[in-house]
Structure 1
Amino acid sequence: MTIEPKWLEWAKQLQAIAQAGLTYSKDVYDLERFELLREVSLEIVAHHTEVDRRTIKDLFAHETGYPTPKVDIRAVVFKEEKLLMVQETSDGGWALPGGWGDIGLTPKEVAEKEVKEEAGLDVKATKLLAVFDKACHPHPPSPYHVYKLFIQCEITGGVPKKGIETSAVGFFAQDELPSLSVARNTQSQLDIAFKHRLNPDIPVYLD
């Protein structure tokens, strides 16, 4: 069950229909209609946010091909009972190391790469813990439909240090978590990571 605003859900659906139509339609009049539908989706988002229309178009309406969700990969790294987190320079909040999936890399490789780049540690990805649909969790509104993969990793080397996109690195107990970058991870999602730490045999979380 999604919890994002209905206007955003509708705008995404219109955008997906328009993108598919622009990809597969051949008739010039149909292409004009799908382009208009895309413009309507932009107007909806612009009306409900403070983001200027051009920025929305750059973020929201330049996708091509069949519309599919984006994939955000987050590494879950524990040291004893404390969870590795990085402070994001973009908003000052704290998040699990991670980012968009990269073409040419497996999810495991992305998780390992992001930890090295954002936290300075060498890790080995070992297990998928959760697959979240971002629309089903209390994140801020986003123009993208996003699946979030939480992948457990074990430390194999390196030393904690900040990266280009991070300003600090730390390990935190469940009752001592810092102010979160909720666009990237929520309290309830991190609670699931801690549940896996306490009971490794629980099943993968799926929305």
Structure 2
Amino acid sequence: MARTEHFHNPDAPMPNSIVVAVTVFVRDDHDRVLLIRRTDNGLWALPGGAQDFGEYIADTAVRETREEAGVIIEVVGLVGIYTNPNHLVEFSDGEVRQQFSICFRGRYVSGELGTSSETSAAQWVERAHLDEIAIHPSMRLRIDHGFEDRPEPYIG
């Protein structure tokens, strides 16, 4: 399913859903961040996705990281909660979702990088190389906040 990101776009369609979703900021021993390349829009992003029924939200973070990037992580903290009403995601099936994402901080436990039907690549990326790849501004905000090691999570 194709997706279009609307960010501060006055011509964006009206939202018709809000879905509880997560992203996960994980660094390796070389201070690189784990990123995946999405198959639905080609952009680089933190691993993540929607919570399933019967699932704790931290378990969603672990599951989505394993599914999208092939690695096992444990949740060790919170980067922030991102609810910008000016960030809408329009899907080809007619859903227009207002952003609601909890960004967790994860710790790499094990596993080798891999891909899935939702990801065409997974890799550890140095902070200095982030400007060289296509990342949506709202995702870049989460990545920047993750690298900042803020004492309190971002709420916005």
TM-score (norm 1): 0.61
Gaps of 5+ in 1: 13-59, 64-68
Distance of 1:112 and 1:71 partners within structure 2: 15
Aligned with residue 32 of structure 2, among 82, 87, 101: 82
Q: Which has the higher contact order (CA 8 A, sep 6+)?
A: 2
Q: Is the 8 A contact 2:103 2:142 kept in 1?
A: no
Instruction: State the partner residue of 2:8.
Output: 4
* Structure 1 residue 141, shift from structure 2 partner: 5.6
SS in 1 for 2:100: strand
Map 1:54-203 onto structure 2 (within 5 A).
60=16, 69-80=18-29, 81-135=31-85, 139=87, 142=90, 143-177=96-130, 178-180=133-135, 182=136, 185-196=138-149, 202-203=151-152
The count of residues paired between Structure 1 and Structure 2 equals 142
Distance of 2:148 and 2:104 partners within structure 1: 14
Gaps of 5+ in 2: 1-6, 91-95
Distance of 1:109 and 1:124 partners within structure 2: 9
> Which is higher, the Rg of structure 1 or of structure 2?
1
Q: Is the 8 A contact 1:112 1:124 kept in 2?
A: yes
* Structure 1 residue 125, shift from structure 2 partner: 1.0
Q: Which structure: greater helix fraction?
A: 1
Q: Would you identify which runs of 4 or more consecutive aligned residues in structure 1 move more than 3 Å?
A: 3-9, 139-142
Label 1:70 to 1:140 Cα distance change in 2 as closer, same or farther (>3 A).
closer
TM-score (norm 2): 0.79
Q: Is the 8 A contact 2:46 2:139 kept in 1?
A: no
Distance of 1:169 and 1:153 partners within structure 2: 16
Distance of 1:153 and 1:115 partners within structure 2: 9
RMSD across aligned positions (CA): 2.3
Q: Which structure: greater strand fraction?
A: 2
User: Kindly, what percent of the aligned residue pairs are identical?
Assistant: 21
Superposed CA offset, 1:49-102 (max 9, x none): xxxxxxxxxxx4xx7xxxxx3222001110131100011111211111111121
Letter in 2 for 1:71: V
* Structure 1 residue 145, shift from structure 2 partner: 2.2
